[in-house]
Structure 1
Amino acid sequence: MEYVQERIATLHDFGESGDPSASPAADAVAETTVVVPMAGREHGSPAAERVLSELETLEPAPAAVIVPVRADADRIGPFREWLESFALPTAVLWCNAPAVEELLTSVGLANGFGKGQDVWLALGPAAAAGESVVVHDADAWSYEAAHVTRLLAPLTMGYAFSKGYYARVEDGRLYGRLFRLFYAPLIRALEDTHDAPIVDYLAAFRYALAGEFAATADLARTLRAPRAWGLEVGTLGDAFDAAGFENSAQVDLGCHEHDHRAVAGETGLEGMSREVAGELLRVVEERGVDLEYAALRDRYLAAGDRLIDQYRADATVNGLAYDPAAERDQLTRYADSIAPPGPDRRLPRWCDAPFEPIDVLEAARPWADGRDHRARLDQFDAGAQD
């Protein structure tokens, strides 16, 4: 057990928290929207089933549970029926519906897609539904409803942004590979030569690539979401601007068991590293850090090599399997991602968006009529005003 504080408030799990239902964060759930993005492969998956079943146990219930879904046209019907079978105030958004694509095209935003875009589509309606927004993935086998209240706890204390962190130890080995072998050594390499607040901020988060965060509705409206896997890092850049060290926190969510990706290829961690690198390096450059990429790549490899020795020692003392050669292979693969960011394809802040939340509801819910959309938005507005 440890109780070290970072430069942002760090809320630990000491295992003696008492009755979570009696906390102010439990009361705040009724004024919170929970956003759970899902891909087509998560239809009926055990991890997603657990997430939704756990959310059913929240008392009081959330103001809304918005599930942005990317699925084929012949699958969205069964997917929606499954999601709506849970006893939750669920709003399903079909993110690749033809009308959504038309809406984005009409305002010049049809320029790529991915998890970040799906979450962004949900943030507008989510920020209208209550005072706070909680976002988390649907691939954690170990998910607990208490994660919602733990993420909300800092917001009830005056913080504006809260990020989850957790251990990734499964099947007798260390996971969290993209964070351990790409993000962490790259941040160390930046720290070596750049004394900049944004670098210190990014270094303060113990699991910066976690998909779990909470924000006030006002802060959620200021997020410029990258379209794909850079969402988590891009969110931290915006949180730095809107909340800073003083109004940001991170919360211990225990130990997570997740679905895993292969390393190689565009759909694996190697491809994800390019998305993460592009957003991380854009975040630091936009906030005044001048980068020399060849030297940064060399420092990254050196920092990663030192970390691998540390990971090996940690694994050994905990009786975990560890393969340094395989880890160094990943380090080399990820190093190719360290390059100047490409074109900026981030989506606009919702406070500057060229359409309204009801436009997303209408486009992403083609099975509902206009009265249903207006009733849903009125319900959201009422929840935000209560």
Structure 2
Amino acid sequence: MEYVQERVTTLHALTDHRPDAPTGRAAVVVPMTEREYGTLAAERVLASLERVDPARVIVPLRATADRAGPFAAWLDGFDLDVEALWCDGPRLADLLAEHDLDGDRGKGRDVWLGLGRALREEFVVVHDADTTTYSPSFVNRLLFPIAHGHDFAKGYYARVEDGALYGRLFRLFFRPLVRALAEAHDADVVEYLESFRYALAGEFAATADLVSDLRIQRGWGLEIGTLGEAFSHAGFAGSAQVDLGRYEHDHRSVEGPTGLADMSRAVGAATLRAVDDAGVDVAYDTLPGRYREAAEELVRRYATDAAFNGLAYDRDDERAQVATYADAVAEPGPDTRLPAWSDAPVSPAAVAEAAAADLEAVAGSASASASEAESASGSASHATPDPDPEASLHRDRSPTGGGDR
């Protein structure tokens, strides 16, 4: 049984114990997209949160106007204090543009909006809604170190599913990139990033004070960008990582829109931005070659580990992915991070007001359309009833969220 401590406090799931934690003083932020409406994974997460009973749940919601209302109504059906924060409405868009906060959209932008609303509570927990193995213990485990002197805690878990190793972006890109940085730079920030056993996990908890000081990456660099900010504000002494045990969620292809290759560019930029923020003068001329060498060595080790466990392992495919990810090893572009809420030009209350007005408008429009349709069909009692206007929401249930990071 493994219980090795890293430089950050590492809490292991040595038993099935669910530790006591201040869930009643915590807000849980669960970003969702319209494709998660009614999915088994999202239902499991929300039903489990009913057992956790946090102070509030904030769902930053990415959805089209015709789906936002039914999604919010579905969320209201759970025995939780849920705030559906619709992130796609025109009033909210205008508000953000007015304060120069518009620009690239991404998961990080939506989470940032949710974090602003979560600051009303003492503690904040963030996690995705696409895991099929979600447990109520996750929130307790993430919060436990926060209630015991730490400011930031991140979840970790092994990605082993369907007889194979997953977590490809972490294994084949982030880990060898950080190892390559460590070979050339003796820097605390690099050791900090290397201390986390699954740095691309989307699950973390923090004090509201720390969350209010986080600058947030707009897109897929969210997780690593958050780690870089945690290094600045919490450091080794104030940080912890928590074993969440078995964890399964959806997988992404390497190529294509929102594929792992796309994600690698955001993750690489966020990693190198965090290192640069800490004052490290990265040797970019030799970094790509050092990354490839580190990745090749890790592929050899993964192959041995997979064979030891009787898992399938395709070395050629793994090496091909390394070649693809190598293109992301480059200097980060312009800094487009969203400001810390402690320094933001707009208030969380203004965000909530705009989002609520947007949601009320589309919900009212949908109700009016439904009433008109009912009146038009009411005189024909023998006619075939109209199909459920929400049925289309249940058809495409392939979840999105963290993906195979």
Fold-level match, TM-score > 0.5?
yes
Percentage of matched positions with identical amino acids: 57
- The one of 76, 86, 95 equivalent to 2:68 is 76
Q: What is the CA-CA distance between 1:254 and the residue it aligns to?
A: 0.4
What SS is found at the alignment partner of 2:150?
A: coil
Extract structure 1 runs of 4+ deviating beyond 3 A: none
Partners of 2:310 and 2:350 in 1: how far apart? 54
Partners of 1:84 and 1:192 in 2: how far apart? 51
- The one of 354, 358, 371 equivalent to 1:363 is 354
Q: Deviations along 1:128-164, whole A, 9 cap, x unmatched?
A: 1x11000001111101011000000001111000000
Q: Name the residue aligned to 1:250.
A: 241
Tell whether the 8 Å contact from 1:266 to 1:272 is kept in structure 2 after alignment.
no
Partners of 1:331 and 1:86 in 2: how far apart? 43
Partners of 2:136 and 2:76 in 1: how far apart? 18
Matched, 1:311 2:305: no
Letter in 1 for 2:356: R
- The one of 16, 37, 40 equivalent to 1:43 is 37
1:266-277 counterparts in 2 under 5 A? 266-277=257-268
1:158-197 counterparts in 2 under 5 A? 158-197=149-188
Partners of 1:344 and 1:185 in 2: how far apart? 24
Letter in 2 for 1:41: R
Q: Name the residue aligned to 1:383.
A: none
Q: Name the residue aligned to 2:108.
A: 116
Distance 1:229 1:127, change over 3 A: same
What SS is found at the alignment partner of 2:275?
A: helix
Tell whether the 8 Å contact from 1:164 to 1:253 is kept in structure 2 after alignment.
yes
Q: Name the residue aligned to 1:15.
A: 15
TM-score (norm. length: structure 1): 0.92
Unaligned runs of 5+ in 2: 362-405
Q: What is the CA-CA distance between 1:40 and the residue it aligns to?
A: 1.9
What SS is found at the alignment partner of 1:92?
A: strand
Q: Deviations along 1:94-115, whole A, 9 cap, x unmatched?
A: 0111111111100011111110
Tell whether the 8 Å contact from 1:131 to 1:216 is kept in structure 2 after alignment.
yes
1:1-386 counterparts in 2 under 5 A? 1-15=1-15, 17=17, 20=18, 23-25=19-21, 28-58=22-52, 61-128=53-120, 130-366=121-357, 367=359
Partners of 1:266 and 1:291 in 2: how far apart? 29
Q: What is the CA-CA distance between 1:368 and the residue it aligns to?
A: 5.1
Letter in 2 for 1:125: R
Moved more, 160-169 or 282-291: 282-291
Q: What is the CA-CA distance between 1:265 and the residue it aligns to?
A: 2.4
Partners of 1:39 and 1:270 in 2: how far apart? 21
Tell whether the 8 Å contact from 1:36 to 1:138 is kept in structure 2 after alignment.
yes
Alignment size in residue pairs: 360
Q: What is the CA-CA distance between 1:255 and the residue it aligns to?
A: 1.7
What's the Cα RMSD here? 1.1
Distance 1:133 1:3, change over 3 A: same
